[in-house]
């Protein structure tokens, strides 16, 4: 059975896993603790007030062991592993949420485009507090996923918590989520490309969307690549997307536990846009594979980044089937990834060249760091390995004022302005009336300068 590589890949010898554990603690101590686990299971089986399901207990113990490592390592029971394979293939039945767990809570990384969740107004950072009236505290990601998924046309009531607001019950009707990873359209004299997730079809769909836009408008003058609220996906898809806009150069590297565990991925000749100007839209919902693409295109000076600092997930997970998948799988963090300049963005994120909030409300979130949903918010997150930290609470450089049309996409409009300026921010037109512009200078590559010292 094949391995799934979520924003990363690694080669692991499962037969050596026991030796790896033993090398960190005395072998006898490791065996003693394993015996302790068996003793506890035996006591629970014999003494608990009602009969127990040993399989569920052991699966819960495995899940707890993995989540103690970092927020993105977890044990997938057989059903959860099958669900993951479905999602990465691009079609399943559910409500369209990308979720993660932290501190006993399940949070939304991002709602999928045109899904029941996105249409209901669910946002990145929302906490799932109850499902069909049952408390969701302490549930794993697999538990919540199982409850949210179901037959097409059935409904589920989800209670969401959002900072500063009362709990909100949302009735979501399940649909077959046919994830069209890439959509494209004309925006005047430019092309607009939206990538909602990175799955097995992303590279092909991007190629088709670019070809279609160029065929419909041979005089197209540039492209906007929208990665906002894209929670990531497959490393191979991120490499394909980056490669589509690059003629040469490194895309990403990943470094594991040992100094010699380094893998590098480079672009092949052939920019599908013919070198036309490119702007990439990001925000704090852009994570993992999205950050690989944004980091590669920024470091290779191929694109200008517009929006807000990205999520900051710079770790690599490898999905390893257990017992050929019969016993589920481990999704385990095996490496950090690095942008072409050698920057690790773990817990830091990628800062845009032009910082722009989409709405006044979004600007308020950035100005109050406790409200920002990012990798740095996880108590068990890996460190950045470079001693740098994510930029704290601040006022974004540009943000629509209270009188600005809330239905207008201000970030997209500024991205198009950057294209009209040929990517040169010094030639960028002034912000329109109704937009608040701070005196803060555009901070370009602040993280990179720290990392190169």
The residues annotated as belonging to the active site are 288, 299, 313
- Alpha carbon distance 110, 180 (integer Å): 16
Both structure tokens of 369: 């760091």
Contact (Cβ atoms closer than 8 angstroms) between residue 306 and residue 414: yes
- Alpha carbon distance 229, 231 (integer Å): 6
Q: Look at the block and give the residue holding tokens 């998948």.
A: 325
Give the side-chain half-sphere CA count within 13 A for 438: 16
The secondary structure of 77-116 as a DSSP string is -HHHHHHHHHHHHTEEEE--EEEEEETTEEEEEEEPTTSH
114 sits in the region (left: phi over 0; alpha: psi -120 to 50; else beta) called left
8 sits in the region (left: phi over 0; alpha: psi -120 to 50; else beta) called left
Angle among Cα 37, 42, 43 to the nearest 5 degrees reads 100
Q: Any long-range contacts for 37-40 (C-beta under 8 Å, 24+ apart)?
A: 37/61
Rg of the chain on CA atoms, in Å = 23
Strands, DSSP E only, in 202-325?
223-226, 250-255, 262-266, 278-282, 304-307, 315-321
Contact (Cβ atoms closer than 8 angstroms) between residue 210 and residue 273: yes
Contact (Cβ atoms closer than 8 angstroms) between residue 264 and residue 253: yes
Angle among Cα 31, 140, 197 to the nearest 5 degrees reads 115
Both structure tokens of 84: 């993951």
Of how many residues is the chain composed?
453
- Alpha carbon distance 110, 310 (integer Å): 13
């Amino acid at each position: 059975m094949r391995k799934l590589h979520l924003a990363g890949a690694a080669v692991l010898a499962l037969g050596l896993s026991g030796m790896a554990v033993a090398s960190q603690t005395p072998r006898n101590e490791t065996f003693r603790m394993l015996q302790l686990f068996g003793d506890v299971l035996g006591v629970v089986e014999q003494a608990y007030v009602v009969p127990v399901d040993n399989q569920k207990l052991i699966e819960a113990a495995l899940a707890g062991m993995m989540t103690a490592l970092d927020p993105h390592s977890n044990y997938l029971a057989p059903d959860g592993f099958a669900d993951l394979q479905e999602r990465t293939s691009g079609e399943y039945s559910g409500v369209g949420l990308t979720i993660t767990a932290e501190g006993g809570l399940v949070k939304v990384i991002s709602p999928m485009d045109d899904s029941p969740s996105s249409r209901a107004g669910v946002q990145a950072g929302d906490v799932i507090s109850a499902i069909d009236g049952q408390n969701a505290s302490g549930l794993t990601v697999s538990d919540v996923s199982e409850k949210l998924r179901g037959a097409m046309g059935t409904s589920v009531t989800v209670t969401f918590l959002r900072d500063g607001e009362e709990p909100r019950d949302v009735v979501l009707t399940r649909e077959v989520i046919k994830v069209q990873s890439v959509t494209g359209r004309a925006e005047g004299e430019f092309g607009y490309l939206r990538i909602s997730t990175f799955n097995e079809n992303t590279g092909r769909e991007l190629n088709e969307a670019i070809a279609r836009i160029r065929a419909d408008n041979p005089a197209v003058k540039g492209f906007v690549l929208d990665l906002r609220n894209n929670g990531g996906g497959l490393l191979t898809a991120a490499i394909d997307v980056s490669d589509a806009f690059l003629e040469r150069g490194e895309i990403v590297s990943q470094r594991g536990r040992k100094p010699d565990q380094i893998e590098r991925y480079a672009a092949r000749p052939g920019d599908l846009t013919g070198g036309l100007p490119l702007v990439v839209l990001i925000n704090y919902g852009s994570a993992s594979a999205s950050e690989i693409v944004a980091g590669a295109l920024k470091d290779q000076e191929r694109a200008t980044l517009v929006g807000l600092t990205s999520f900051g997930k710079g770790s690599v997970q490898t999905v390893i089937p257990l017992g050929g998948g019969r016993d589920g799988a481990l999704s385990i963090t095996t490496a950090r990834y690095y942008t072409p300049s050698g920057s690790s963005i773990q817990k830091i994120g990628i800062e845009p060249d032009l910082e722009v909030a989409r709405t006044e409300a979004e600007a308020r979130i950035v100005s109050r760091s406790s409200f920002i949903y990012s990798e740095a918010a996880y108590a068990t997150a890996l460190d950045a390995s470079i001693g740098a930290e994510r930029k704290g609470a601040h006022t974004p450089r540009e943000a629509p004022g209270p009188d600005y049309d809330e239905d207008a996409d201000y970030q997209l409009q500024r991205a198009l302005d950057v294209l009209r300026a040929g990517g040169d921010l010094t030639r960028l037109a002034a912000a329109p009336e109704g937009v608040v512009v701070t005196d803060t200078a555009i901070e370009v590559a602040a993280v990179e300068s720290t990392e190169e010292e």
